[in-house]
Chain A
Amino acid sequence: MQNMNTQKQNGYMLLFRSDEWYEELSHDEIQKVISQNNDWIEGLIAQGKAKPGHALQRNGATVSGKTGRTVSDGPFAESKEVLGGFLLLDVETIAEAIAIAQRSPTLAYGTSIEVRPVAEECPLDVRARELARQEQFATA
Protein backbone atom coordinates (compact mmCIF):
# COMPACT_ATOMS: atom_id res chain seq x y z
CA MET A 1 0.00 0.00 0.00
CA GLN A 2 1.34 3.37 -0.86
CA ASN A 3 2.85 5.49 1.85
CA MET A 4 0.78 8.62 2.40
CA ASN A 5 3.81 10.62 3.30
CA THR A 6 6.07 9.69 0.41
CA GLN A 7 7.18 12.88 -1.21
CA LYS A 8 6.69 13.44 -4.88
CA GLN A 9 8.17 16.20 -6.96
CA ASN A 10 5.55 16.68 -9.58
CA GLY A 11 2.53 17.46 -7.49
CA TYR A 12 -0.97 16.07 -7.62
CA MET A 13 -4.00 16.52 -9.74
CA LEU A 14 -7.50 16.81 -8.31
CA LEU A 15 -10.16 15.64 -10.77
CA PHE A 16 -13.67 16.73 -9.82
CA ARG A 17 -16.49 14.41 -10.76
CA SER A 18 -20.16 14.94 -10.30
CA ASP A 19 -23.61 14.47 -11.63
CA GLU A 20 -25.82 17.53 -11.92
CA TRP A 21 -26.24 17.96 -8.17
CA TYR A 22 -26.96 21.67 -8.53
CA GLU A 23 -30.27 20.97 -10.30
CA GLU A 24 -31.80 20.32 -6.88
CA LEU A 25 -30.67 23.51 -5.19
CA SER A 26 -32.19 26.93 -4.99
CA HIS A 27 -30.58 29.86 -6.76
CA ASP A 28 -29.28 31.25 -3.46
CA GLU A 29 -27.83 27.94 -2.37
CA ILE A 30 -25.97 27.54 -5.64
CA GLN A 31 -24.61 31.08 -5.48
CA LYS A 32 -23.35 30.32 -2.00
CA VAL A 33 -21.54 27.13 -3.04
CA ILE A 34 -19.99 28.82 -6.06
CA SER A 35 -18.73 31.64 -3.94
CA GLN A 36 -17.33 29.23 -1.32
CA ASN A 37 -15.69 27.21 -4.08
CA ASN A 38 -14.08 30.27 -5.66
CA ASP A 39 -12.79 31.41 -2.27
CA TRP A 40 -11.38 27.97 -1.62
CA ILE A 41 -9.57 27.80 -4.95
CA GLU A 42 -8.30 31.38 -4.79
CA GLY A 43 -7.06 30.73 -1.26
CA LEU A 44 -5.05 27.74 -2.46
CA ILE A 45 -3.58 29.70 -5.35
CA ALA A 46 -2.63 32.57 -3.02
CA GLN A 47 -0.85 30.09 -0.73
CA GLY A 48 1.08 28.74 -3.70
CA LYS A 49 -0.50 25.30 -3.28
CA ALA A 50 -2.49 25.26 -6.49
CA LYS A 51 -2.07 26.47 -10.02
CA PRO A 52 -5.21 27.95 -11.60
CA GLY A 53 -7.42 25.07 -12.60
CA HIS A 54 -9.93 24.61 -15.34
CA ALA A 55 -13.61 23.88 -15.40
CA LEU A 56 -14.76 21.83 -18.35
CA GLN A 57 -17.94 22.31 -20.32
CA ARG A 58 -20.34 19.41 -20.03
CA ASN A 59 -20.14 18.50 -23.72
CA GLY A 60 -17.49 17.54 -26.24
CA ALA A 61 -16.58 14.32 -28.02
CA THR A 62 -14.89 10.97 -27.60
CA VAL A 63 -12.48 9.65 -30.23
CA SER A 64 -11.84 5.92 -30.33
CA GLY A 65 -11.12 2.96 -32.59
CA LYS A 66 -7.94 1.84 -34.25
CA THR A 67 -7.56 4.82 -36.54
CA GLY A 68 -9.54 7.21 -34.40
CA ARG A 69 -12.38 6.81 -36.79
CA THR A 70 -15.14 6.72 -34.24
CA VAL A 71 -16.19 10.11 -32.95
CA SER A 72 -19.12 10.14 -30.60
CA ASP A 73 -20.72 13.00 -28.77
CA GLY A 74 -20.06 13.43 -25.10
CA PRO A 75 -20.71 13.03 -22.18
CA PHE A 76 -19.29 10.03 -22.00
CA ALA A 77 -19.48 6.31 -22.11
CA GLU A 78 -20.47 4.34 -19.04
CA SER A 79 -19.16 6.81 -16.54
CA LYS A 80 -22.04 8.25 -14.58
CA GLU A 81 -19.83 10.86 -13.14
CA VAL A 82 -18.75 13.40 -15.65
CA LEU A 83 -15.43 15.08 -15.10
CA GLY A 84 -16.31 18.71 -14.34
CA GLY A 85 -12.89 20.21 -13.86
CA PHE A 86 -9.46 19.84 -12.40
CA LEU A 87 -6.91 21.56 -10.22
CA LEU A 88 -3.15 21.03 -10.17
CA LEU A 89 -1.69 21.07 -6.68
CA ASP A 90 1.87 21.95 -5.86
CA VAL A 91 2.21 19.97 -2.62
CA GLU A 92 4.61 17.21 -1.70
CA THR A 93 2.63 14.34 -0.27
CA ILE A 94 -0.61 12.64 -1.14
CA ALA A 95 -1.66 13.14 2.48
CA GLU A 96 -1.54 16.88 1.95
CA ALA A 97 -3.35 16.66 -1.39
CA ILE A 98 -6.10 14.58 0.23
CA ALA A 99 -6.42 17.02 3.12
CA ILE A 100 -6.92 19.83 0.61
CA ALA A 101 -9.45 17.82 -1.39
CA GLN A 102 -11.41 17.14 1.79
CA ARG A 103 -12.05 20.84 2.20
CA SER A 104 -13.75 21.21 -1.18
CA PRO A 105 -17.15 22.85 -0.64
CA THR A 106 -18.87 20.75 -3.30
CA LEU A 107 -18.28 17.46 -1.46
CA ALA A 108 -21.29 18.21 0.71
CA TYR A 109 -23.41 17.83 -2.43
CA GLY A 110 -22.13 14.40 -3.41
CA THR A 111 -19.31 15.21 -5.78
CA SER A 112 -16.19 13.10 -5.67
CA ILE A 113 -12.58 14.07 -6.16
CA GLU A 114 -9.92 11.85 -7.59
CA VAL A 115 -6.43 12.57 -6.26
CA ARG A 116 -3.69 11.43 -8.64
CA PRO A 117 0.06 11.92 -8.49
CA VAL A 118 1.38 13.62 -11.59
CA ALA A 119 3.98 11.31 -13.08
CA GLU A 120 7.51 12.52 -13.45
CA GLU A 121 8.05 10.47 -16.53
CA CYS A 122 5.59 8.85 -18.82
CA PRO A 123 4.91 5.43 -17.19
CA LEU A 124 4.92 3.83 -20.63
CA ASP A 125 8.43 5.05 -21.24
CA VAL A 126 9.65 3.82 -17.87
CA ARG A 127 8.21 0.37 -18.53
CA ALA A 128 9.57 0.25 -22.09
CA ARG A 129 13.05 0.92 -20.80
CA GLU A 130 12.66 -1.70 -18.10
CA LEU A 131 11.64 -4.30 -20.65
CA ALA A 132 14.51 -3.33 -22.92
CA ARG A 133 16.94 -3.79 -20.04
CA GLN A 134 15.45 -7.19 -19.23
CA GLU A 135 15.86 -8.24 -22.84
CA GLN A 136 19.44 -7.13 -22.79
CA PHE A 137 20.17 -9.32 -19.79
CA ALA A 138 18.31 -12.23 -21.30
CA THR A 139 20.40 -12.21 -24.44
CA ALA A 140 23.71 -11.52 -22.67
Chain B
Amino acid sequence: MSTQNQNQNGYMLLFRGTDLRKGLSPEELQKVTDNWMAWFKRLTEEGKAVAGNPLEREGKIVSGKDRIVSDGPFTESKEAIGGYFLLDVPTLDEAIAIAKECPGLPYGIRVEVRPVAGECPIAADIRAEALFAQV
Protein backbone atom coordinates (compact mmCIF):
# COMPACT_ATOMS: atom_id res chain seq x y z
CA MET B 1 0.00 0.00 0.00
CA SER B 2 1.71 3.15 -1.17
CA THR B 3 0.18 5.38 1.49
CA GLN B 4 1.99 3.41 4.16
CA ASN B 5 5.29 4.89 3.09
CA GLN B 6 4.25 8.52 3.11
CA ASN B 7 3.48 10.56 6.14
CA GLN B 8 2.39 14.15 6.64
CA ASN B 9 3.51 14.21 10.24
CA GLY B 10 7.12 13.36 9.64
CA TYR B 11 9.36 10.67 11.07
CA MET B 12 11.30 10.14 14.20
CA LEU B 13 14.81 8.69 14.33
CA LEU B 14 15.59 6.94 17.61
CA PHE B 15 19.25 6.17 18.23
CA ARG B 16 19.65 2.91 20.10
CA GLY B 17 22.74 1.23 21.41
CA THR B 18 25.30 0.95 24.15
CA ASP B 19 27.15 3.99 25.33
CA LEU B 20 29.65 5.01 22.64
CA ARG B 21 31.85 6.73 25.18
CA LYS B 22 33.12 3.32 26.24
CA GLY B 23 35.40 1.47 23.88
CA LEU B 24 36.26 4.22 21.44
CA SER B 25 39.66 5.88 21.32
CA PRO B 26 39.68 9.61 22.03
CA GLU B 27 40.28 10.38 18.37
CA GLU B 28 37.46 8.12 17.18
CA LEU B 29 35.11 9.59 19.75
CA GLN B 30 35.95 13.14 18.71
CA LYS B 31 35.47 12.23 15.07
CA VAL B 32 32.06 10.59 15.62
CA THR B 33 30.93 13.50 17.73
CA ASP B 34 32.03 16.13 15.23
CA ASN B 35 30.42 14.21 12.38
CA TRP B 36 27.21 13.74 14.29
CA MET B 37 26.86 17.39 15.18
CA ALA B 38 27.71 18.45 11.62
CA TRP B 39 25.09 15.97 10.36
CA PHE B 40 22.39 17.42 12.58
CA LYS B 41 23.41 20.97 11.68
CA ARG B 42 23.18 20.21 7.97
CA LEU B 43 19.78 18.52 8.31
CA THR B 44 18.50 21.47 10.31
CA GLU B 45 19.75 23.96 7.70
CA GLU B 46 18.05 21.92 4.98
CA GLY B 47 14.82 22.09 6.99
CA LYS B 48 14.76 18.30 7.29
CA ALA B 49 15.37 18.06 11.02
CA VAL B 50 13.07 20.11 13.21
CA ALA B 51 14.25 18.88 16.59
CA GLY B 52 16.78 16.61 18.19
CA ASN B 53 18.16 15.97 21.62
CA PRO B 54 20.59 13.63 23.24
CA LEU B 55 19.33 11.98 26.42
CA GLU B 56 21.38 11.50 29.55
CA ARG B 57 22.30 7.87 30.27
CA GLU B 58 20.35 7.86 33.50
CA GLY B 59 16.75 8.15 34.52
CA LYS B 60 13.91 6.18 35.98
CA ILE B 61 11.12 3.93 34.86
CA VAL B 62 7.57 4.32 36.17
CA SER B 63 5.35 1.33 35.59
CA GLY B 64 2.29 -0.63 36.51
CA LYS B 65 -0.92 0.02 38.32
CA ASP B 66 1.07 0.77 41.46
CA ARG B 67 3.18 3.36 39.67
CA ILE B 68 6.41 1.83 40.90
CA VAL B 69 9.59 3.78 40.24
CA SER B 70 12.72 1.82 39.35
CA ASP B 71 16.17 2.52 37.95
CA GLY B 72 16.74 1.90 34.30
CA PRO B 73 19.42 -0.19 32.55
CA PHE B 74 20.38 2.75 30.46
CA THR B 75 24.09 2.34 30.32
CA GLU B 76 24.55 -1.32 29.34
CA SER B 77 21.43 -1.97 27.33
CA LYS B 78 21.83 -2.33 23.57
CA GLU B 79 18.25 -1.16 23.29
CA ALA B 80 18.62 2.00 25.30
CA ILE B 81 17.72 5.15 23.46
CA GLY B 82 20.53 7.71 23.47
CA GLY B 83 18.74 10.46 21.61
CA TYR B 84 16.38 11.28 18.78
CA PHE B 85 15.82 13.47 15.74
CA LEU B 86 12.42 14.62 14.55
CA LEU B 87 12.42 14.79 10.75
CA ASP B 88 10.16 16.81 8.50
CA VAL B 89 10.36 14.64 5.35
CA PRO B 90 7.40 13.17 3.45
CA THR B 91 8.40 9.55 2.88
CA LEU B 92 9.78 6.61 4.81
CA ASP B 93 12.42 6.14 2.11
CA GLU B 94 13.77 9.60 2.69
CA ALA B 95 13.79 9.10 6.45
CA ILE B 96 15.66 5.80 5.98
CA ALA B 97 18.17 7.45 3.63
CA ILE B 98 18.87 10.02 6.33
CA ALA B 99 19.12 7.32 8.99
CA LYS B 100 21.80 5.59 6.89
CA GLU B 101 23.98 8.69 7.29
CA CYS B 102 24.21 8.25 11.06
CA PRO B 103 27.90 8.43 12.08
CA GLY B 104 27.26 5.98 14.91
CA LEU B 105 26.30 3.07 12.64
CA PRO B 106 29.85 1.68 12.20
CA TYR B 107 30.09 1.53 15.99
CA GLY B 108 26.96 -0.52 16.54
CA ILE B 109 24.33 2.18 16.88
CA ARG B 110 20.97 1.16 15.42
CA VAL B 111 18.58 3.76 14.12
CA GLU B 112 14.88 3.13 14.52
CA VAL B 113 12.72 5.02 12.02
CA ARG B 114 9.10 5.62 13.07
CA PRO B 115 6.31 7.57 11.39
CA VAL B 116 4.87 10.18 13.72
CA ALA B 117 1.15 9.65 14.22
CA GLY B 118 -1.22 12.53 13.65
CA GLU B 119 -3.34 11.41 16.53
CA CYS B 120 -3.24 8.56 18.97
CA PRO B 121 -3.15 5.43 16.74
CA ILE B 122 -5.46 3.68 19.18
CA ALA B 123 -8.06 6.42 18.74
CA ALA B 124 -7.73 6.08 14.98
CA ASP B 125 -8.30 2.31 15.19
CA ILE B 126 -11.40 2.75 17.29
CA ARG B 127 -12.89 5.26 14.93
CA ALA B 128 -12.24 2.93 12.01
CA GLU B 129 -13.91 0.08 13.87
CA ALA B 130 -16.90 2.21 14.71
CA LEU B 131 -17.32 3.15 11.06
CA PHE B 132 -17.35 -0.49 10.02
CA ALA B 133 -19.81 -1.32 12.76
CA GLN B 134 -22.28 1.19 11.36
CA VAL B 135 -22.38 -0.42 7.93
Contacts and interface: CB of A to CB of B under 8 A. Distances in A.
Contacts, number: 192
A34 B122 CA distance: 8
Residues of A contacting B: mostly: mixed
Given A54-B116, A56-B12, A122-B54, A115 B60 contact: yes
A87 B18 CA distance: 23
Contacts of B20: 124
Nearest to B25: A131
B29 A127 contact: yes
Contact of B92 (A15, A30, A54, A61): A61
A60 B112 contact: yes
User: How big is chain B's contact interface, by range?
Assistant: 35 or more
Residues of B contacting A: mostly: mixed
A2 B109 CA distance: 26
A22 B57 CA distance: 31
Contacts of B100: 63, 67-69
Nearest to B63: A112
Interface in B1-39: 4, 7, 9, 11-12, 14, 16, 19-21, 26, 29-30, 32-33, 36-37
Interface string A96-123: 0010011010011011111111110111
Contacts of B60: 94, 98, 114-115
Contacts of A37: 120
A56 B117 contact: yes
B63 to A, nearest CB: 3
Contact of A63 (B19, B84, B96): B96
Contacts of A54: 9, 12, 86, 116-117
Contact of A55 (B54, B59, B67, B116): B116
A46 interface: no
A125 B37 contact: yes
Given A31-B126, A114-B72, 14 more contacts: A34-B122, A55-B121, A66-B106, A79-B79, A104-B62, A112-B62, A112-B63, A114-B81, A115-B60, A115-B62, A116-B58, A117-B56, A119-B83, A123-B19
23 contacts: A30-B126, A54-B117, A56-B114, A56-B115, A57-B7, A57-B117, A60-B113, A63-B111, A63-B113, A65-B105, A66-B105, A68-B111, A71-B96, A78-B79, A112-B62, A112-B63, A113-B63, A115-B59, A118-B55, A122-B37, A123-B57, A125-B33, A127-B29
